[in-house]
């Protein structure tokens, strides 16, 4: 699978994405080969919660020609050379003016920084400090930015793999950064390949929702339309971000303490990685900031390897193919499939009819004559499960509390499910 | 009283009861001399929650004649000889076929086991292993089962001793086992004699509900009709089961932790038995399984001596008059009367109108001129009670928390009750 | 300010107040120079919760002439000489009858006791035990009580200083005791001068409600009309009583544990008085008995110096100008202004729109280009506050929990308030 991930990476990498525009659409189009998103286009100027969908940005070409006639920064060489959402501009500018439009990082002299100006109308170029140092720094420079800002739309996609339960498990990532690897493509690629694998399964217990949207504004647009639905149906969610580097997988809890979501996801990951790093919730990072805003307060965790704040290559041209490894993304997929296994296998049940004991006899859940089996441990376990499957107790909690055998409990749950006495909820 | 209990025991013992039928009705008829149940007849095929009322079963005679012409198992000798709810059958069967219809317990060779088949149409006989061993085990046997399974009804009874409060204290037991002592007659007899004694009292604070129904299906039929009423009005309940043997009284908590019911009943029993055995809730046993099912989740405890799982005679002919003692049942009644005393005397009050302070003056609860008494301890206590009688604080809790004199608190409560400022709730 | 307080004290002192009548109205009229109450007149016989507004009482003159022709107790000398709400009476009575109408305190021989009979129609006189001892105690006495009990009304006043929030901070005191200092005028004078000072401020965060009503019946009349409004809007309240003597200020908690009100008010007072006396709630005292009755259960604390039960002069003529000091009342005002400062400065915020992250960019809350500042500590703090300002976390709680700098948090909060992203709530 990792070669396939790499092939998709190589196709997505060169595209100049932004939070709107044709680069974004082209990226969705490629990913749709793996995950058939239902795409939404939200028009420019639509209000989404506190925000407004900006004009759509597209760029044809952008470069600077130095006084000697050399093209010194050209978006054709690296998408990061242009400040994302730069307004169109063509003209001759003196160095003293040009320098106000140049961005570089002295502390990381080989890196082209990633700079955006979605809501303030500006233009600018980004370059490495080493390149900057070697400029002539005088004379006239020709600037060409053939970009457009027009009434258009913002694109996001989602898809629901329907399971037996209306309760949903959500995976979400973001698409908007041009030519960045860990803090962009690791998430969508994990999401898309996870979908491809999961969609091969049949008879899922839960419904699985996959969301891909431009970070922040896209998530807000999504929640503006679907936030109430998620409040009603979301059992557990996970934002995928910066999960392509060589660090171990780590999880950040959702905002609300002691949710089923926090417990299930952490337990499922610990089954695979006994020394799993678990971070407390904090309202920084990626789209968990939106999902866990106080009004929605959804049970959404965040999965990453190196947090954005923990690697220097973040938001620069050094967050590239060398920085990541495709084994990590493959591990993400296989690991999340196991998390899904655990969620599918170890869940919250509730009685289909919680009033009184169900008639086990008519469902052949008693031995037809009760001399020996009537009061066996098995019958007790069955009665215990029928009593405590009330939507408030996860099975693993019951196993722990009553010191039960997981294997036997699972056999019993199967029987009760088959008998339609309990249901996943 | 124990001689009277024994006399009723002796009349009830020979009757061949089941979960429906004339044996059940005859038993209700005898008990109605002590406790004038309001009887309900629920017709065959009525749906009660997840269950259906079965056909009514009656039996005229049932026996086997061995190849030598001897009647070897005859329901006239012991009601347990016939599998309860056996379908009618008459004919000659070979030993090899007959043996499939015989039930015995090798591990308890003198005991006739108690076997039922309410929902599967079968016939069968039960006998001791010792009797079984001595059979010829070959040849032809004549089988006669003159039973009927007809459109009829299931009988249950309840009665409410109305007190001043609509809040109810419930005692429940079951009637359906033929010729068993601890796991049958100990409960109904305790219930009936408790009613007889309690009904002599006047001016009860709480209303007392007594329920007697066939176990499981009867309790379900009862809850199907009255479950919502109990959810609204039940303050505390107790299932009486296996309470006639020589062990000490014990109590099992209701499903919900920290209810007024659990606290009051346990405290009341501990006032009598300082080393009282208190078991955690578990969803096995008798009709607490129905009352404490997750949908009803009623505050119902369970009273027993030996739990069904703790004595080998359970569900056999050895659960008989020798196994029990009538002193135990008499103690049940006197002990429960004391529990009722404690519940009556130590209760939960709420203000009749909880907004603002009541006008004590117009009710002569102030000295008419306040020079001396205005700020006495008594007035303070009165005000404290008027403030904290909010339906959430039992009096004993307040006495403990504020280090009050129980005697004086009770005097004050009397005054506030007389003044109609608070009510039991 | 203390001289002004004293001047108002001197004007209010001689007025013969009661829970109704012209003395009460005259007192409101004087206080209205400081605090422009909106006055309500509740007619006689109106039902207010459990109570009824009594007839209005006014008194013209009342005295006794002894057998020698001397006026020995005259309401003109001290308002306490007449039992408050005495019915009219004129006539000659024998000593043996008169003595039943006389009230005095042997244990406090110089004090005239304060006696009322609002709801029982009686007449009576109060005098010091020393005066009583010197009476002739025989012969005929002339009694003159020119009082009226008529269909009238009870007067109360309140006023709301509107702040930016609909949430209210309440101060309440009472007006009804004739010629008593600590247990009467200390409260209304503190309230009135506090209002005068607070009303000079502009742009208050919270709304401030000032209530002055006859004790008990007036508070009940007030709650009868406004109790539901307070249940919805009251953030914190304080009853002012017995706060004019020389003891230190003390606070009694409201009935409900762990409210924002208890925490904020106690913290604010401890900022001024590190050894502040904090009493647990008890349902005795002044109008907190009504505000904290179980039906309303409002977050109302009580401020006093000596509790009514802690000074012997209480409810006698010795609770007079000598007993109190105007420095104390001035300190009340300055201290409560600081409490208000703390409440205004250290508060509970909630997001104006709690769904998703707000757009900080359009409010210039990001650096316009994010190269350096994007992930600064400050931005993190800002995001943390935007996430946890949900109306459930006081700022001081967050400062504690996340180990933040109060100064920097306050700067941030200012920015978020200016940006209209959060509001006091």
What is the mean predicted confidence (pLDDT) over C336-350? 89
Q: Place B369 in a pLDDT band, splitting at 50, 70 and 90.
A: very low
What is the mean predicted confidence (pLDDT) over A119-131? 95
What number is the ipTM of this complex? 0.74
| Token pair listed for C27 | 């007192």
Selected residues 325-354 of chain A with any CB under 8 Å from a CB in chain B = 350-351, 353-354
What is the mean predicted confidence (pLDDT) over A399-407? 87
Task: Output the pLDDT for position A383.
Answer: 85
Interface test with A, best of B283, B290, B296 (most A CBs within 10 A): B283
Residue C296 confidence (pLDDT) above 50: yes
Residue of C355, C361, C375 with shortest CB distance to A295: C355
Instruction: Tell me the three state secondary structure of residue B22.
Output: helix
In this complex, the chains that touch C, judged by 3 or more CB pairs closer than 8 A, are A, B
Contact A222, A293 (CB under 8 A): no
B359 touches chain C (CB under 8 A): yes
| Token pair listed for C300 | 């109302």
* Helix residue ranges, H only, B74-113: 95-98
Q: Please give the Cα distance from C402 to A222 (Å, whole number).
A: 31
Residue of C103, C223, C284 with shortest CB distance to B356: C223
Task: Output the pLDDT for position C378.
Answer: 83
Instruction: Tell me the three state secondary structure of residue A358.
Output: coil
Query: How far is the alpha carbon of B357 from chain C, nearest alpha carbon, in Å?
Result: 6
- For residue B111, give the nearest of B273, B343, B424, B320 by alpha carbon: B320
Q: Please give the Cα distance from B312 to B323 (Å, whole number).
A: 11
Residue of C49, C117, C119 with shortest CB distance to B362: C119
Contact A311, A181 (CB under 8 A): no
What is the mean predicted confidence (pLDDT) over B318-345? 96
Task: Output the pLDDT for position C369.
Answer: 33
Q: How many residues does chain A have?
A: 425
Per-residue pLDDT of B95-149, as tens digits, reads 999 999 999 999 999 999 999 999 889 999 999 999 999 999 999 999 999 999 9
Task: Output the pLDDT for position C372.
Answer: 44
Question: Edge-to-edge strand order for the sheet containing A71-74?
Answer: A71-74, A56-65, A140-150, A89-94
Report chain A residues whose CB lies below 8 A from the CB of B283: 383-384, 386-388
Cross-chain residue pair C50–B358, CB shorter than 8 Å: yes
| Token pair listed for C141 | 């006495």
Q: CA of B46: how far to CAs of B24, B25, B228, C40, C332, in Å? A: 18, 19, 19, 64, 74
- For residue A334, give the nearest of A63, A2, A38 by alpha carbon: A2
Residue B378 class from Cβ within 10 Å (0-12 exposed, 13-18 middle, 19+ buried)?
A: middle
Contact A251, A301 (CB under 8 A): yes
Query: How far is the alpha carbon of A263 from chain B, nearest alpha carbon, in Å?
Result: 23
Per-residue pLDDT of C384-406, as tens digits, reads 999 889 877 888 878 987 889 88
A371 touches chain B (CB under 8 A): yes
Cross-chain residue pair B369–C119, CB shorter than 8 Å: no
In this complex, the chains that touch A, judged by 3 or more CB pairs closer than 8 A, are B, C
Give phi and psi for A40, each to the nearest 5.
-120, 140
What is the mean predicted confidence (pLDDT) over A48-54? 91
Interface test with B, best of A353, A357, A383 (most B CBs within 10 A): A357
Contact A206, A168 (CB under 8 A): yes
Task: Output the pLDDT for position B15.
Answer: 97
Q: Please give the Cα distance from C218 to C224 (Å, whole number).
A: 10
B380 touches chain C (CB under 8 A): yes
Specify the range with the lowest mean pLDDT, choosing from A36-50, B389-403, C108-122.
B389-403
Q: Place B374 in a pLDDT band, splitting at 50, 70 and 90.
A: very low
Cross-chain residue pair C220–B356, CB shorter than 8 Å: yes
What is the mean predicted confidence (pLDDT) over C257-285? 90
Cross-chain residue pair C355–A115, CB shorter than 8 Å: no
Residue B413 confidence (pLDDT) above 70: yes
What does the DSSP 8-state code read for residue B340?
H
Please provide the average confidence, as pLDDT, over all residues in chain C.
92
What is the mean predicted confidence (pLDDT) over A290-315? 93
Task: Output the pLDDT for position C245.
Answer: 96
| Token pair listed for B196 | 């007889």
Cross-chain residue pair A293–C356, CB shorter than 8 Å: yes
Residue A407 class from Cβ within 10 Å (0-12 exposed, 13-18 middle, 19+ buried)?
A: exposed
Instruction: Tell me the three state secondary structure of residue C141.
Output: strand
Task: Output the pLDDT for position B346.
Answer: 66
Query: How far is the alpha carbon of A104 from chain C, nearest alpha carbon, in Å?
Result: 9
Q: Which long-range contacts (CB under 8 A, 24 or more apart) does A61-64 make?
A: A61/A144, A61/A146, A62/A86, A62/A125, A62/A144, A62/A145, A62/A146, A62/A147, A63/A144, A64/A98, A64/A125, A64/A141, A64/A142, A64/A143, A64/A144
Task: Output the pLDDT for position C367.
Answer: 55
Residue of C nearest to A112 (CA): C371
Q: Please give the Cα distance from B391 to B397 (Å, whole number).
A: 12
Per-residue pLDDT of B27-63, as tens digits, reads 999 999 999 999 999 999 999 998 899 999 999 999 9
Per-residue pLDDT of B170-202, as tens digits, reads 999 999 999 999 999 999 999 999 999 999 999
Q: Please give the Cα distance from C358 to A103 (Å, whole number).
A: 27
Q: Please give the Cα distance from A192 to B73 (Å, whole number).
A: 73
Task: Output the pLDDT for position B368.
Answer: 32
What is the mean predicted confidence (pLDDT) over C321-335? 97
Element (H, E) at C28: helix C22-31
| Token pair listed for A296 | 């929605």
Per-residue pLDDT of A344-392, as tens digits, reads 986 789 899 898 888 887 788 875 334 444 347 788 889 899 888 987 7
Dihedral (CA of A117, A118, A122, A126) sign = positive
CA C8 to chain centre: 17
Query: How far is the alpha carbon of A116 from chain C, nearest alpha carbon, in Å?
Result: 7
Residue of B216, B223, B284 with shortest CB distance to A355: B223
Selected residues 245-304 of chain C with any CB under 8 Å from a CB in chain B = 255, 282-284, 289-290, 292-296
| Token pair listed for B247 | 């062990």
Residue C425 confidence (pLDDT) above 90: no
Task: Output the pLDDT for position C346.
Answer: 65
Task: Output the pLDDT for position A251.
Answer: 97
B388 touches chain C (CB under 8 A): yes
Task: Output the pLDDT for position A346.
Answer: 65
Interface test with C, best of A177, A293, A306 (most C CBs within 10 A): A293
Residue of C118, C119, C227 with shortest CB distance to B355: C227
CA atoms within 13 A on the CB side of B1: 16
Collect all residues with Cβ–Cβ distance below 8 Å to B50 and sequence separation of at least 6: A353, A355, A356, A357, A358, A359, B220
Report chain B residues whose CB lies below 8 A from the CB of C284: 375, 380, 383-384
* Helix residue ranges, H only, A100-240: 129-133, 186-198, 217-233
Task: Output the pLDDT for position A368.
Answer: 32
Per-residue pLDDT of A60-89, as tens digits, reads 999 999 999 999 999 999 999 999 999 999
Contact A26, A198 (CB under 8 A): no
Collect all residues with Cβ–Cβ distance below 8 Å to A162 and sequence separation of at least 6: A204, A207
Under 8 Å CB pairs connecting chains A and C tally to 86
B50 touches chain A (CB under 8 A): yes
Counting residues of chain C whose pLDDT is more than 70, the rounded percentage is: 97
Collect all residues with Cβ–Cβ distance below 8 Å to A258 and sequence separation of at least 6: none
| Token pair listed for A211 | 């969301």
Per-residue pLDDT of A239-255, as tens digits, reads 999 999 999 999 999 99
Per-residue pLDDT of C190-226, as tens digits, reads 999 999 999 999 999 999 999 999 999 999 999 999 9
Specify the range with the lowest mean pLDDT, choosing from B362-376, C90-104, C163-177, C255-269.
B362-376
Task: Output the pLDDT for position C365.
Answer: 82
Location of structure tokens 């539901």: C228
What is the mean predicted confidence (pLDDT) over C52-68? 96
Q: CA of A382: how far to CAs of A287, A343, B52, B72, B252, in Å? A: 42, 21, 21, 39, 20
Query: How far is the alpha carbon of B116 from chain A, nearest alpha carbon, in Å?
Result: 7
Q: CA of A56: how far to CAs of A90, A153, B225, in Å? A: 20, 6, 64
């Amino acid at each position: 699978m990792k070669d396939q991930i790499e092939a998709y990476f190589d196709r997505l990498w060169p595209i100049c994405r932004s939070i709107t525009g044709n680069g974004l659409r082209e990226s969705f189009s490629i990913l749709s080969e793996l995950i058939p998103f239902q795409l939404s286009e939200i028009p420019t100027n639509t209000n989404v919660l506190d925000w407004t969908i900006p004009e759509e940005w597209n760029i044809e070409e952008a470069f600077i020609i130095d006084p000697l006639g050399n093209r010194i920064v050209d978006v054709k060489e690296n998408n990061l050379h242009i400040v994302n959402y730069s307004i169109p501009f063509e003209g001759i500018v003196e160095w003293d003016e040009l320098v106000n439009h140049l961005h570089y990082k002295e502390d990381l002299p080989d890196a082209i920084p990633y700079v955006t100006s979605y809501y303030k109308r500006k233009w600018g170029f980004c370059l490495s400090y080493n390149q900057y140092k070697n400029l002539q720094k005088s004379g006239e420079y020709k600037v060409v930015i053939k970009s457009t800002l027009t009434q258009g739309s913002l694109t996001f996609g989602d898809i629901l793999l329907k399971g037996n339960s209306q309760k949903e498990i959500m995976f979400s990532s973001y698409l908007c950064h041009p030519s960045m690897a860990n803090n962009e493509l690791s998430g969508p690629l994990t999401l898309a390949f996870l979908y491809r694998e999961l969609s091969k399964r049949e008879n899922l217990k839960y419904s699985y929702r996959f969301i891909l949207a431009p970070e922040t504004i896209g998530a807000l647009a999504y929640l503006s339309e679907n936030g109430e639905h998620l409040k009603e149906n979301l059992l557990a969610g996970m934002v995928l971000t910066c999960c392509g580097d060589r660090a171990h997988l780590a999880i950040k809890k959702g905002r609300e303490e002691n949710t089923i979501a926090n417990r299930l996801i952490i337990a499922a990951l610990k089954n695979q990685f006994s020394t799993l790093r678990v971070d407390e919730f904090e309202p920084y990072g990626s789209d968990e900031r939106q999902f866990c805003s106080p009004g929605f307060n959804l049970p959404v965790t965040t999965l990453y390897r190196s947090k954005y704040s923990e690697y220097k290559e973040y938001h620069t041209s050094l967050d590239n193919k060398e920085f990541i490894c495709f084994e990590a993304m493959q591990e993400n997929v296989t690991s999340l499939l196991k998390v899904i296994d655990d969620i599918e296998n170890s869940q919250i049940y509730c009685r289909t009819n919680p009033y009184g004991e169900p008639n086990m006899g008519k469902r052949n859940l008693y031995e037809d004559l009760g001399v020996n089996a009537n009061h066996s441990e098995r019958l007790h376990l069955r009665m215990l499960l029928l009593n405590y499957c009330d939507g408030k107790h996860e099975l693993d909690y019951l196993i722990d509390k009553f010191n039960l055998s997981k294997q036997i409990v699972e056999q019993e749950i199967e029987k009760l499910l088959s008998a339609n006495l309990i249901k996943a909820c």
